[in-house]
Amino acid sequence: MNMTLTKEKNSSAIVNGAIQPTALTEKVYETSGLNLWYGENHALKNINLDMHQNEVTAIIGPSGCGKSTYIKTLNRMIELVPDVKTTGQIKYRNRNILDQSYKVEDLRTQVGMVFQKPNPFPKSIYDNVVYGPKIHGIKNKKVLDEIVEKSLKGAAIWDEVKDRLHENAYGLSGGQQQRLCIARCLAIEPDVILMDEPTSALDPISTLKIEELVQELKKDFSIIIVTHNMQQAARISDRTAFFLNGEVIEYANTDTIFSNPDDKRTEDYITGRFG
């Protein structure tokens, strides 16, 4: 990665609990004035959020607060839902992705996604990982083999599956399947990885492995993770956004959010008084 862009956690100056990004922190996403409707239902209300390179940004909030909707807007996966309307803009690397001239296929080669439920294809482990590269037209067998090894190593699952790359991915455990899905996502060499509650269907040990993995991955990628597990957000993220009823109530350094939140509702939520 470009060294000058690598973010150092201490370089963000904190004034009044809000983050004043320094020149060193490159923004990957800049959301401004984003509104989203499902039909008549106003699901996201005037969202303003910036996300930074080589950081883990956590999005927390109670069920139905719009956090999943928001992360799905970041790679426009939300368009699969019929009758969705958006206003405002989301800039990814200074280009508005909500502009229809921005092709979703183009965006999603830069922004990978890991889903709530592990969703490997009913194919072999190898074929799962090469799916993305093949879609993008990479045919060279040697290159594909290298991608498979690199991606599986990157997702910390190589040692477990290296002897059975051509076996069905459905034979893996839930936690392994999710790491395979992360490997599949790494295989397209994305810039940003979106994770939509990636551990909600997993046992505690698999969850721990994924959390450790996220810490590893942020060296090379920018990660945005939705989680309903506040401890998880506290453990792995650099910044945390608290969503409630489609609004961003508070967005700050994770330490600040969890030790000294600005808003009463944030405090109530993280101390478990509701949600």
Partner 1 sequence: MKLINKSHVAKRMPVRLAVNTICKGLFFLATLVGLIVLAILFYRIFTQGIGHLNGDFLQNFASRKPEEAGIKAALIGSVWLMAVVAPVSLMLGVGTAIYLEEYARKNWITTFIKVNISNLAGVPSIVFGLLGLTVFVRALALDRSVLAAGLTMSLLVLSVIIVAAQEAIRAVPRDLREASFGMGATKWQTIRKVVLPAAIPGILTGGILALSRAIGETAPLVVVGIPLFIAFLPQTVLDTFTVLPMQIYNWTSRPQEEFQQVAAAGIIVLLILLIVMNSIAVLIRNKFQKRY
Locus of tokens 């989301």: 90
Tell me whether residue 151 or residue 256 sits nearer to partner 1 (CB atom). Answer: 151
State the nearest-atom distance from the C-beta of 108 to partner 1, in Å: 4
- The angle, 0 to 180 degrees and rounded to 10, between the axes of the packed helices 141-154 and 125-135 is 110
Tell me whether residue 56 or residue 193 sits nearer to partner 1 (CB atom). Answer: 193
φ/ψ of residue 120, rounded to 5? -65, 155
Q: How far apart are CA 29 and CA 24, in angstroms?
A: 15
State the nearest-atom distance from the C-beta of 82 to partner 1, in Å: 5
Tell me whether residue 47 or residue 113 sits nearer to partner 1 (CB atom). Answer: 113
Q: How far apart are CA 120 and CA 88, in angstroms?
A: 34
Q: How far apart are the first and last CA of the chain?
A: 39
Tell me whether residue 1 or residue 135 sits nearer to partner 1 (CB atom). Answer: 135
Backbone Cα Rg of the chain: 19
State the nearest-atom distance from the C-beta of 146 to partner 1, in Å: 18
Q: Can you give the binding site for partner 1, defined by CB under 8 A?
A: 75, 77, 80, 82, 104-109, 112-113, 115, 117, 119-123, 131-132, 135-136, 168, 170, 181, 184-185, 188
Contacts of 85 (CB under 8 A, 6+ apart): 36, 37
State the nearest-atom distance from the C-beta of 113 to partner 1, in Å: 4
State the nearest-atom distance from the C-beta of 124 to partner 1, in Å: 9
Residue 239's DSSP bridge partners are 57, 253
> Tokens in use for 17?
């609990």
Tell me whether residue 103 or residue 264 sits nearer to partner 1 (CB atom). Answer: 103
